[in-house]
Every structure is written in C-alpha cells, then in structure tokens.
Amino acid sequence: MKKNVHPKYFKAKVVCACGSEFEVYTTKENINVEVCKNCAPLFIGTEERKVAIGQVEKFLRKYKKSS
C-alpha cells in the first residue's frame, strides 16, 4: 500500500437541527444536518399513518351519509 494516499478517518459528531447527536466514522470531524433519522417523517412513519387515517375518515364520512 502506498503511504499518504488514504484519507484520515475521524470519529465525527453529527448534530441535527432538532438537537439530536450521534457519532459516526468519516473523513470529516463535524457534520451538521437539517434532518436526521429521529425527526424525518419518512423514518418515523408518521407521514404514512396520517394519510391512511385521513383516508379512512373520508371513507366513513362518505358512506355514513348514504346509509
């Protein structure tokens, strides 16, 4: 292996806009992100649940009037 070719790896602290912090190994020392796994709706699943709940309520309202 050649010397001085590979990047240095650091144990970096990732800081999200929501305030959560976690550590990863990367070539940068600090990483700031806007959305992380704790605050993104796609990762926590609330986005899909809201859509499904809204669809069920819409269905019940629609067929409750006709029956």
Whole-model pTM: value is 0.50
CB 18 within 8 A of CB 40: no
Q: What is the number of structural domains in the chain?
A: 1
C-alpha span between 40 and 25 (Å, rounded): 22
In a domain, 3, yes or no: no
User: The CATH number of the domain where 30 resides is what?
Assistant: 4.10.80.400
Tokens of 17: 């806009």
Within-domain flag for 5 = no
Q: Which residue in this structure is represented by tokens 């309520």?
A: 57
8-58 residue pLDDT tens = 888 999 998 888 899 999 999 889 988 887 777 666 666 555 556 677 788
Any domain includes 4:
no
Region label for 11, one of left (φ > 0), alpha (ψ between -120 and 50) or beta (otherwise): beta
In a domain, 52, yes or no: yes
Does residue 53 lie in a domain region? yes
Domain that holds residue 51: 10-66
In a domain, 2, yes or no: no
Which tokens go with 48? 């899909």
Residue at 40 is within a domain: yes
